[in-house]
């Protein structure tokens, strides 16, 4: 067994099946936390249901995967030298799933340690995802989603300062909730034909800068009513409603911007897409 391949317990659910049927297998994998040195973690998941949360025990990670061995293969690797973890399921070649197989898609449950600083990236295809990111020690976060429906929330404070959050949304729905708990200071977003929600309601630990590029998709930004908002907006068709904003030389300012303790600054570039700003009461 190589140093990159970790302890894996597999129960194979293969059986004689008619031609064209799926061959379901399950894999469980885990590794103990031996120290608190930072790691990079990557989750690559092509299709199925994904649940991710902070681990409650001493494991660096624990993953359970159910996958169709005819069309997909699991990936469980830890590069100890580079402190790099990769988890997920890949499609085999360019083979496509038909409608019935998509309905019977697999699943992945993953737990990551909240004891180590972590640079986390997720590459997601046709995925229905529930990401509970509170309690982790995230230093950077990247989510790239295709035809996905993802809800990510920080129900508990992030235990590190999150320097940058990079979000790429194709024909997907991505909701980032309770971001005041993330401690993030910079968000970079690209939205194609999908929709992105950034919920920054609550008590922000620091100002937040958002750079968003929209094609034909939509961006919703929710902030607390006492948060000052600045928008530098350039759009072909779209933009945002400017009620309650005043124009200055460099952009649009909310009425409470100068008196606010915390600020959200949005740099918006849109072709057809637009931004919706909502407020949460304190």
**Distances 200 to 47, 94, 248 between C-alpha atoms, Å:** 29, 39, 24
Give the pairing type, strands 173-177 and 149-153.
parallel
Q: What pTM was estimated for this model as a whole?
A: 0.88
The domain limits of the chain are: 1-14+23-119, 161-282
Q: Which of 141, 209, 142, 198 is nearest to 174 (CA)?
A: 198
| Whole-number Å distance between alpha carbons of 191 and 238 | 14
pLDDT at 278: 94
CB 271 within 8 A of CB 235: yes
Beta-sheet strands, E only, within 17-148 = 24-32, 39-54, 59-68, 72-79, 84-91, 107-112, 117-132, 137-145
The residues pairing with 191 across neighbouring beta strands, listed in sequence order, are 169, 214
pLDDT at 48: 92
pLDDT at 122: 98
Give the pairing type, strands 72-79 and 84-91.
antiparallel
pLDDT tens digits for range 112-158? 999 999 999 999 999 999 999 999 999 999 999 998 999 999 999 99
pLDDT at 239: 73
pLDDT at 104: 58
CB 204 within 8 A of CB 262: yes
pLDDT at 105: 78
Q: What is the pLDDT along the chain (282 residues), one digit of tens a residue?
A: 333 333 333 333 333 334 456 899 999 999 999 999 999 999 999 889 999 999 988 999 999 999 999 888 999 999 999 999 999 998 876 544 443 444 457 999 999 999 999 999 999 999 999 999 999 999 999 999 998 999 999 999 999 999 999 999 999 999 999 999 999 999 999 999 999 999 999 999 999 999 999 998 899 999 999 999 999 988 766 678 888 999 999 999 999 999 999 999 999 998 887 899 999 976
pLDDT at 282: 66
Q: Within the chain, what is the greatest distance between any pair of CA atoms? A: 71
pLDDT at 19: 40
Q: Which of 47, 45, 46, 43 is nearest to 122 (CA)?
A: 43
């Amino acid at each position: 067994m190589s140093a990159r391949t970790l302890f894996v317990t597999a129960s194979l659910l293969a059986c004689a099946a008619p031609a064209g049927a799926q061959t379901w297998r399950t894999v469980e994998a885990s590794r103990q936390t031996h120290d608190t040195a930072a790691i990079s973690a990557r989750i690559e998941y092509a299709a199925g249901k994904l649940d991710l949360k902070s681990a409650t025990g001493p494991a660096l990670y624990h993953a359970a995967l159910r996958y169709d061995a005819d069309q997909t293969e699991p990936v469980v690797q830890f590069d100890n030298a580079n402190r790099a973890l990769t988890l997920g399921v890949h499609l085999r070649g360019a083979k496509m799933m038909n409608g019935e197989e998509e309905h019977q898609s697999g699943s992945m449950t993953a737990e990551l340690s909240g004891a180590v600083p972590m640079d986390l990236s997720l590459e997601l295809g046709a995925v229905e995802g529930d990401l509970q990111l509170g309690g982790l020690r995230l230093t950077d976060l990247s989510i790239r989603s295709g035809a996905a429906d993802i809800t990510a929330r920080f129900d508990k404070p992030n235990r590190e300062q999150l320097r940058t959050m990079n979000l790429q949304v194709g024909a997907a729905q991505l909701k980032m909730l309770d971001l005041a708990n993330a401690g993030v200071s910079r968000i970079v977003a690209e939205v194609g034909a999908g929709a992105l929600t950034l919920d920054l309601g609550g008590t922000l630990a620091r100002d937040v800068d958002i750079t968003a590029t929209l094609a034909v998709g939509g961006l919703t930004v929710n902030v607390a009513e006492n948060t000052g908002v600045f928008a530098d907006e350039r759009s072909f068709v779209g933009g945002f409603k400017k009620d309650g904003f005043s124009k200055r030389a460099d952009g649009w300012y909310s009425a409470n911007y100068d008196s606010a303790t915390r600020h959200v600054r949005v740099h918006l570039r849109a072709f057809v897409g637009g931004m919706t700003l909502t407020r949460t009461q304190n």
